[in-house]
Structure 1
Amino acid sequence: MKISKTITLATLALTIGLSASSFAQDGSMEMKKDKKMMKKEKMMMQTKMVGGSEMYPTKNIIENAVNSKDHTTLVAAVKAARLVETLQGEGPFTVFAPTNTAFDKLPKGTVETLLKPENKEKLQGVLTYHVVAGKVSSMDFAKMIKDGKGKAELTTVNGGILTAMLKGKKVQLKDTAGNISTVTIADVNQSNGVIHVVDTVVLPGM
């Protein structure tokens, strides 16, 4: 009887110990998840500076973009393509926003040609190639790229494919022609999505 009781008590102690260990591990995992969520929520509420202006997470993509001095060409293009109403919509959208300097890298006359009324559909194609449905943060991209062993394919609103990669801690995008664009300002949160500022215009196969 004494041996039996000793074994029973030892088994009980082992069970309690294992349960406590499991509980501690579960608690640790939950804390990590909570910290990640808190970090993401804090990031979503940050007001960032783009083109000399504050980008408020309570305003939509268009309301913020029109205030950036670095994105006057993009805003003019969005208006010419008649995409203002779309990008003011509920979304959410992930927009890769080329700066004025990014547009200046295009061959001379390209922007002027695209802004002509008869080229509206072509312009829409270029702009929607910079938009992905849903809200994708830089953390999300990093995970997608890691899961894809260094690359992640993104289907744009245009229907074309962009390949996302990492260079150091920065996300890079490669279009179908092999042009590379780097995200220079990430996670500019909007009420209807997120903007990632890029230094090069990516082009769909046209």
Structure 2
Amino acid sequence: MKNIILCITLLLTSTAVAGGGSTVPSGTTIAGVVSNDPNFSTLLAAVQAAGLVETLSGPGPFTVFAPTNAAFAKIPQADLDALLNDREKLRAVLLYHVVPGRVTAAQVMNLTTAKTVNGANVNVSMMGSSVMINDSTVTQADIRASNGVIHVIDTVLMP
């Protein structure tokens, strides 16, 4: 766990130092999958604004709870604009959506909490047949990426 956090810290630091992270990702990494799906255009813009493209293109593995455009649309526009313009807060919110390791839907259903890359825990529960991450519902699970797995959620998670 310490090695994963150290690796992510190094990736974040190198992205910030290099001034990178605003490029459009490609390939089968988590960042590439997100960039190729129009339902994630707001998430992609947020990842780019936060300078996290290289991180989510890195070796991982990561599990990402990925909010759709509709999830971001639930946030009042003024609040979303403020978030997108506050790089540190945006990074904290986005890293709250990332769990170290490749955690499949079958594994998620056996958890009650999961520690995110930003250090805070998310709550995992079942509501009927739906998996809930905090107050967000997983609407699609186990989208494979070369460096992890994506689970689509319907609400942006706030730490």
TM-score if structure 2 supplies the norm length?
Answer: 0.81
Give the share of equivalent positions with the same residue, in percent: 49
Amino acid aligned to 1:122: K
Q: Is residue 151 of structure 2 the alignment partner of residue 199 of structure 1?
A: no
Q: Could you say which residue in structure 2 is the equivalent of 1:139?
A: 106
Amino acid aligned to 2:130: K
Q: Is residue 77 of structure 2 the alignment partner of residue 108 of structure 1?
A: yes
Q: Could you say which residue in structure 2 is the equivalent of 1:63?
A: 32
Distance in 2, matches of 1:67 and 1:189, equals 13
Q: Is residue 79 of structure 2 the alignment partner of residue 124 of structure 1?
A: no
Per the TM alignment, residue 142 of structure 1 is displaced from its structure 2 partner at its CA by 1.8
Per the TM alignment, residue 168 of structure 1 is displaced from its structure 2 partner at its CA by 2.5
Structure showing greater relative contact order (alpha-carbon pairs closer than 8 Å, 6 or more residues apart)? 2
Amino acid aligned to 1:131: V
Distance in 1, matches of 2:121 and 2:46, equals 21
Distance in 1, matches of 2:32 and 2:77, equals 29
What is the aligned-residue RMSD (CA, Å)? 1.1
Amino acid aligned to 1:94: T
Q: Is residue 139 of structure 2 the alignment partner of residue 170 of structure 1?
A: no
Per the TM alignment, residue 77 of structure 1 is displaced from its structure 2 partner at its CA by 0.2
Amino acid aligned to 2:127: K
Q: Deviations over 1:1-53 (max 9, x none)?
A: xxxxxxxxxxxxxxxxxxxxxxxxxxxxxxxxxxxxxxxxxxxxxxxxxxxxx
Per the TM alignment, residue 169 of structure 1 is displaced from its structure 2 partner at its CA by 2.7
Q: Secondary structure, in 3 states, of the residue corresponding to 1:203?
A: coil
Distance in 2, matches of 1:156 and 1:69, equals 25
Per the TM alignment, residue 80 of structure 1 is displaced from its structure 2 partner at its CA by 0.3
Q: Secondary structure, in 3 states, of the residue corresponding to 2:76?
A: coil
Distance in 2, matches of 1:143 and 1:125, equals 26
In the TM superposition, 1:1-206 aligns within 5 A as: 59-116=28-85, 119-144=86-111, 152-174=112-134, 180-204=135-159
Q: Where do 5+ consecutive residues of structure 2 fail to align?
A: 1-26
Tell me if the contact between 2:62 and 2:149 (Cα under 8 Å) persists in the aligned partners.
Answer: yes
Per the TM alignment, residue 199 of structure 1 is displaced from its structure 2 partner at its CA by 0.2
Amino acid aligned to 1:132: V
Q: Secondary structure, in 3 states, of the residue corresponding to 2:110?
A: helix
Q: Where do 5+ consecutive residues of structure 1 fail to align?
A: 1-57, 145-151, 175-179
**How many residues are treated as equivalent by the alignment?**
133
Distance in 1, matches of 2:77 and 2:158, equals 15
Q: Deviations over 1:68-104 (max 9, x none)?
A: 1111000000000000000000000000000001001
The structure number with the bigger radius of gyration is 1
The structure in which a higher percent of residues are helix is: 1
Distance in 1, matches of 2:63 and 2:117, equals 10
